[in-house]
Copies of this chain bind each other. A is one copy, B any other.
Amino acid sequence: LSLSDIARAAGVSLTTASRALNNAYGIAPATREKVLATARRLDYVVSPDAVRLARGGTRRVALVVPHIDRWFFGAMVAGVEDILAKADVDLLLYHVGGSDDRRSFFTHLPARRKVDAVIVVAFPVGEAERDRLALMGVSIVAAGGQSVEYPYVCIDDYRAGRQAVDHLVELGHRRIAMIAAHDPDQPGWPARSGRSEAYVHALAEIGVPLRNELIRDVNWGGTNAATAMDDILDGGDPPTAVYAHSDELALGVLGSLRRHGLRVPQDVSVVGIDDHPHAGLVDLTTVRQPVREQGAIAARLVLDELDGTDTASVDGGGGSAAVTVHTTLVVRGTTSPPVEHTEIAADRVSRP
């Protein structure tokens, strides 16, 4: 009989079950009683280690973030730190680049019990790792990604993608390329696939078939996007528009187009997602997501967990808080209607 069994039987999250059994902070009296009753009914024995570890707060939160030198992650950290600092909660930063780092982080953290909660930025936490943290009474909150297992804040990636692609479609574009992004260290992460689905659905709705020669899936980073765009252009018959999964990819696309002698937006329109601070500098049309705000919301979700707002009792049945922030299309100078005769654009492609 495991703690998970108790949690399931009591209809609460693992974290809540652990806290209730360990008499820790942050549990509504009714919820605690329900968990204790379930544990008694099932003859569950609490391990002394778990009691020792879960009781009491460190007033520290771990922020686990890949790629801290990218704007998205830095802005997320700024938002988290701002709220935690005001609550006098310290932030332990863990920069985990690859999936090995991430595994190592989750293997070592619980044994040391340095924090009350973990905020993961834009990557998923596996089941075994969730269980370890829950057993110790360490909460998890996701920023910039979704989970049914713990509270999260993110954008609606499908909607953001539709805002970008629909803008191109409404301008009259039909031959639209997509530079999709993936992170090789998190192959199963679903957050980005919404952005690809948006492209597939938008084209399907107007009866435009998908063309493999116009779709590239690259690792994050503008340089990779530039290479992918080079590849598409070298195939001849360029698209009239490009949808990039992020502004950093779009910056790479703009570089590739410039080297090929194609004008933006006269020959090719480009749209990204993020509203990176550099998007305005290159006059990039994009879909803005409020990143710092997501960080602040993630921090508030953590504080709710620590200060006793029991999310299980709010949502019922062990459900978690979920916040989706809005995205906005920002039309700038890199998008316009396609030229009448796309052959003209094709003629202008020069080889750099």
Residues of A within 8 A of B (CB): 60, 63, 68-71, 73-75, 77-78, 81-82, 85, 90-95, 114, 221-223, 226, 248, 251-252, 254-255, 258, 277-278, 280-283, 291-292
CB neighbours (8 Å) of A91 from chain B are 92-94
A74-B74, A78-B69 known; A226+B63 contact, CB < 8 A: no
Residue in contact with A69 in the complex, picked from B71, B85, B94, B223, CB distance below 8 Å: B71
Give 3 nearest A-B pairs by CB, closest first. A69-B74, A69-B75, A81-B95
Bound: A203/B130 CA distance, A: 61
Q: Is the CB of A255 within 8 A of B277?
A: no
Residue in contact with A282 in the complex, picked from B63, B73, B255, B280, CB distance below 8 Å: B255
Q: Is the CB of B69 within 8 A of A222?
A: no
CB distance from A111 to the nearest CB of B (A): 12
Bound: A95/B248 CA distance, A: 24
CB distance from A219 to the nearest CB of B (A): 13
Q: Is the CB of B81 within 8 A of A74?
A: no
CB neighbours (8 Å) of A278 from chain B are 222, 248, 251, 278
Residue of chain B at shortest CB distance from A223 = B280
A71-B71, A282-B251 known; A77+B90 contact, CB < 8 A: no
A221-B277, A255-B281, A282-B251 known; A85+B77 contact, CB < 8 A: no
Q: Is the CB of B81 within 8 A of A93?
A: yes
CB neighbours (8 Å) of A94 from chain B are 81, 85, 91
CB neighbours (8 Å) of A92 from chain B are 60, 90-93
Residue of chain B at shortest CB distance from A77 = B68
CB distance from A46 to the nearest CB of B (A): 28
CB neighbours (8 Å) of A255 from chain B are 281-283
CB neighbours (8 Å) of A74 from chain B are 68-71, 73-74
Residue in contact with A281 in the complex, picked from B82, B93, B95, B252, CB distance below 8 Å: B252
Q: Is the CB of B85 within 8 A of A95?
A: yes
CB neighbours (8 Å) of A95 from chain B are 77-78, 81-82, 85
Q: Is the CB of B90 within 8 A of A68?
A: no
Q: Is the CB of A222 within 8 A of B93?
A: no
Q: Is the CB of A222 within 8 A of B281?
A: yes
Bound: A280/B74 CA distance, A: 21
CB neighbours (8 Å) of A85 from chain B are 94-95
CB neighbours (8 Å) of A71 from chain B are 69-71, 74
CB neighbours (8 Å) of A75 from chain B are 68-69
Bound: A281/B252 CA distance, A: 6
